[in-house]
Structure 1
Amino acid sequence: MTLKSASTDILMQLAEVVGQLTNEAYAQPLPVLSGNTIGKHVRHILEFYALLMSGAQTGILNYDRRQRDLRLEVDTDEALRRIGSLDRATHKLNLEQPLDLETDLSAGGGQTIVLPSSVARELLYNIEHAIHHMALIQVAVTSDFPAVELPPHFGVAYSTVAHQTQ
């Protein structure tokens, strides 16, 4: 499996689950998510992907500077459209392209550091980041929406899947 095909796999798993939820279920605050919603987790995943796409254009990537498009939290159709467009954009990326990753590690802000990275490294990060949030979505779906069918290995890291099959 390549990075791009792994990314497609993860995004299509996410789309499969989002596509089974009503807007009401998608945007419902859930105790198991500490009052957060499945939609907020999906938005977060998609915004990180979108930042990677724009960072690939500029050469500078900063995950802290998100726009937080609230439509992605409440509208499953918009989330599904965005998943599709991000998947298509991912396949156009030059994985060897270098990036400057900007981040602020201070609680008060204002102490930005810049680290060398690459599109490939950040796509891998986005895959792992998505899996982490999908694990939380999996807990919420299992708890509150048992009629939703989860894809095999939804929210499980590839290394864990490999270990479990040994």
Structure 2
Amino acid sequence: MSIASTAESEINSWSSSSVDESFTPINDIKEVIPLISINNEQEVHRVAYKTLQQCIDLLRCLPSDDKYTYESKFIPSSTIGKHVRHLYDHFRLLLESKQLKEKRKPSDGNIDDYDDQYYEEQKDESKFWIVNYDNRSNNIPVETLRLTAIKRLEQLQTTIINDCTFIPFNTQIRVDATVDSEMLMDPIPFQSTYGRELWFCCHHAIHHFALIRVICAEQNIVVPEDFGIAPSTLQKRYKMEHNS
């Protein structure tokens, strides 16, 4: 398949009569993040949008709302909704942090506002971009209400398009993490970057898609062949099929 055909196919896959236009920036994604990306920032923002869209498409195709909260027999205490809430929270905690809201898209469109010097000279740690993925929410509507989950995922897509594509990937982030359930000290800080964390959220979501795939199989729900499969695995499969 040619690059042009692939691009056209992907554009069509983003179009659906059931899409709520007020929350899904389909037209914006085509303009702001080209399908044939010209740099790494565009590519990973496009993949983040596309990963969320995979989840949205699956939720729309569930035959009934009770499938969303069905508790797995193979993965104890696990539901599609719990996995969606979990992966949603990771994106939310990265993209809707207080520090990002304050420093996100420059008003004049000048990406130099995110220059590394700002972070190197910053003395007030309260202004650092800090992410703690342990600050997740439990028992919220995203976990139990399929339509609410769709709306929230679409809002994340809007945030990516409107607020995040200007952020350089080397923008520094401090990730605080609880690394042991018995630890008595404060969460351990790790130095990271925006690009690394955005890709982590995508990769993390794909792994949870794999678990969602199992729960769907239990309920005889068919999912796309590439759902929950890592990009590197799909790439290897493609090469094997076309080199044989």
Q: Same fold, TM exceeding 0.5?
A: yes
CA distance, structure 1, for counterparts of residue 48 and residue 139 of structure 2: 21
Q: Is the 8 A contact 2:72 2:218 kept in 1?
A: no
Q: Which residue of 1 aligns with 2:203?
A: 128
1:102 counterpart = 2:176: yes
Unmatched segments (≥5 aa) in structure 1: none
Q: CA RMSD in A?
A: 1.6
Instruction: Quote the residue 2:190 is aligned against.
Output: 115
Contact 1:104 1:110 in 2 (8 A): no
- Structure 1 distance, partners of 2:61, 2:159, is 24
Amino acid at match of 2:91: Y
1:10 aligned onto 2:51: yes
1:41 aligns with 2:83: yes
Determine if the alignment matches structure 1 residue 151 to structure 2 residue 224.
Answer: yes
Give the aligned residue type for 1:126. Answer: C
Q: Partner of 1:20 in structure 2?
A: 61
Q: AA paired with 2:71?
A: P
- What is the CA distance between 1:142 and its match in structure 2? 1.9
- Amino acid in structure 1 at the alignment position of 2:224: P
- Residue 179 of structure 2 aligns with an amino acid whose one-letter code is L
Q: Deviations over 1:84-115 (max 9, x none)?
A: 01111123221432111111212124432111
Rg larger in structure: 2
Alignment-mate amino acid for residue 232 of structure 2: S
Distance 1:4 1:152 in 2: 23
Q: Using the TM superposition, give the Cα deviation of residue 134 of structure 1 relative to its aligned residue in structure 2, in angstroms.
A: 0.1
Higher RCO, 1 or 2 (CA under 8 Å, sep at least 6)? Answer: 1
1:37 counterpart letter in structure 2: T
Q: Give the drift of 1:132.
A: 0.2
Query: 1:69 and 1:86 mapped to 2: Cα distance?
Result: 19
**1: distance between equivalents of 2:70 and 2:201?**
25
Aligned to 1:29: 71
Q: 2:135 aligns with which of 55, 58, 65?
A: 65
SS in 1 for 2:176: strand
TM-score normalized with structure 2 length: 0.63
TM-score between the two structures when normalised by the length of structure 1: 0.91
Worse overlay, 131-140 or 87-96: 87-96
- Of 85, 103, 107, 2:155 maps to 85
Structure 1: 4+ residue segments shifted above 4 A: none
How many angstroms does 1:52 deviate by? Answer: 0.5
